[in-house]
Amino acid sequence: MSLCSRTSGVRDVTHRAAIVSALVVLALLVGGRWALGREPVETILVETGPGMPATPSTSAPPDKPRTPSPSASARTTPPPKAPKPPKGGPIVTRELTGSRKVALTFDDGPHPTWTPKVLDLLRSKGVKATFCLVGTEVHQYPALVARIVREGHTLCNHTWHHELDLGTKPEAEIRANLEATNREIRRAVPGAKIKFFRHPGGMWTAAAIKVSRELGMTPLGWDVDPLDWKKPSPEAIRTRVINQARPGSIVLLHDGGGDRAATLSACPAIVGELKRKYGIVLLR
């Protein structure tokens, strides 16, 4: 009997504890939603994956006698206070062109093998694109940056060394990184306009957005991602792009960061089909 009543008492306590837990969870959910709703910016980012590996190319990092690494100055800054990057957090990036036409973006270059081929293709199709450049690659291949600009394409800052976690660093470190990258681009092309910033892997944070805007760059997202950096077949890349594209899409492709043979091979069909269905516009 006593065992039975004790068990019943335990059940009672468990039951009460469950109700209290449920109330606490409910309160947290309501509070969390309220807090999110009060964020000053709207959630439109849909992050699809971790993006590229941290190292943009397999080549040895170049020595950087002319440009001090932004991380050097960061070593003297206090430990990061910024929160972990939100996954698809309350962050606004540009993901549409603003018209029916779609836009092409190429990340992680310039690359000595693939960027010239992409440029040749774009020229032959009469299409302009946006190139999201990595500072260390710009340092190695400045002539390619000059060609990109000469042929009328738009530039986008893609950090100094493709640091996936840059957005979690203190603002001073983010700023130093983006400024070093812009300096390197302008060393290659004096006075070059750098209209956009794209965070590696799309791992945006509020701090990264803020700093890029302060430096006069629009945070550039995308809404079409064929994951070409994972090296699927050209046909898979083409199919994914065409299936995901809609009026105003911004398409993410890669001309750097590794072997881009599949991307290059998919590009003529992608460009042809997008041009026919929507038209292709240069982001401004």
- Give the 3-state secondary structure of residue 127: coil
255 binds Zn ion (CB under 5 A): no
Considering only residues 45, 47, 52, 220, which one is a binding residue for Zn ion as defined by CB under 5 A? 52
Tokens of 90: 């309350």
Considering only residues 130 through 189, tell me which ones interact with Zn ion, judged by CB under 5 A.
none
Residue of 158, 254, 255, 259 marked catalytic? 254
Phi, psi dihedral angles at 102 (to 5 degrees): -105, 165
Q: What sign results for the dihedral spanned by CA atoms 160, 166, 167, 170?
A: negative
Interacting residue with Zn ion among 57, 89, 104, 108 (CB under 5 A): 108
Q: What is the CA radius of gyration of the chain?
A: 23
Comparing CB distances to Zn ion, the nearer of 108 and 278 is 108
Nearest distance, CB of residue 134 and Zn ion, angstroms:
7
The residue among 108 and 225 lying less far from Zn ion, judged by its C-beta, is 108
Q: Which of 107, 108, 228, 255 is catalytic?
A: 107
CB of 56 to Zn ion, least distance (A): 7
Rounded to an integer, what distance in angstroms lies between the CA atom of residue 255 and that of residue 253? 7
Please provide residue 9's backbone torsions phi and psi, each rounded to the nearest 5 degrees: -60, -45
DSSP state letters, 23-39: HHHHHHHHHHHHHHHT-
219 or 278: CB nearest Zn ion: 219
Q: Which residues are catalytic?
A: 107, 254
**Residue numbers of the site for Zn ion (CB under 5 A)?**
52, 107-108, 200
